[in-house]
Amino acid sequence: MTILSQPIHKHLKVRDLFMDRRGNGLTADALGAAASKARGPGTTAGGLEPLSHTARVAAHHEVGVAAAGLLDLDLTEALVTGWVKYRALGDAGRRTVGSMAREVVDLVTHRITTSYTPTVDLFIDEVRVASFEFRLELTIDVVGCAAVVAAGQLVAVKGGDLIVKGTLTVEGQTIVTRSKRFDAELVADLRRPVPLT
């Protein structure tokens, strides 16, 4: 597992998680090829069989382009969405509403899980010839972090690490699974306070 430091002005995306040690990431072509492999040469009745090889490659590339939107999901948003549901933060938010008080909340070691399951439909000449189900599963283990709450809002995250594991599949077949450790302050660089109440 590697510890990554990223520029503080840039929110980390799912594509950063799936990047290898050389900085190579998933491309639309790789996602399209995975979709093609998952479905085999033909996809559905009538599917892509009547198309030329070039047209099939182009069609799978377009499926990959559509699926690549998953790579742009913001890890910070996934993390914060999980934290908004965290009871201790909500309690601190309620206690600080309408006051000048600031509270530091110990974010005991915990896990946030989320998943996304988009379907990419492939149309040729206005006829749907295939559907591809992609699934992105994220697990974020939060270790040694503290949250700063003021005026009913999460305003900062201090210290700690996030161990993020992601798995991307198409039609139930794994494209990539990767786990990385990130500095929590860099991932949870809040551009604006997050309401907790």
Structure tokens at 110: 């915990």
Q: What are 143-153's pLDDT values in tens digits?
A: 999 999 999 99
The pair of three-digit structure tokens given for residue 66, joined into one six-digit string? 């559509």
Task: Provide the residue ranges of all domains of the chain, joining segments of one domain with +.
Answer: 7-195
**C-alpha span between 135 and 12 (Å, rounded):** 19
Read off the pLDDT of residues 90-137 as tens digits, 9 standing for 90 and up: 999 999 999 999 999 998 888 999 999 999 888 888 888 888 899 999
- Residues 1, 163 contacting (CB under 8 angstroms): yes
Taking residue 109's Cβ as centre, other Cβ atoms within 10 Å add up to 11
Per residue of the chain (197 residues), what is the pLDDT tens digit? Answer: 444 443 334 678 999 999 888 878 888 888 888 888 886 544 443 467 777 889 888 888 888 898 888 999 988 888 888 888 889 999 999 999 999 999 999 988 889 999 999 998 888 888 888 888 999 999 999 999 999 999 999 999 999 999 999 999 999 999 999 999 998 887 777 778 889 98
Q: pTM for the full model?
A: 0.80
E-assigned strand segments in 82-193:
102-107, 110-116, 119-124, 127-143, 145-150, 153-158, 161-170, 173-183
| CA 140 from centre of chain | 10
| Residue 52 φ then ψ, to 5° | -70, 165
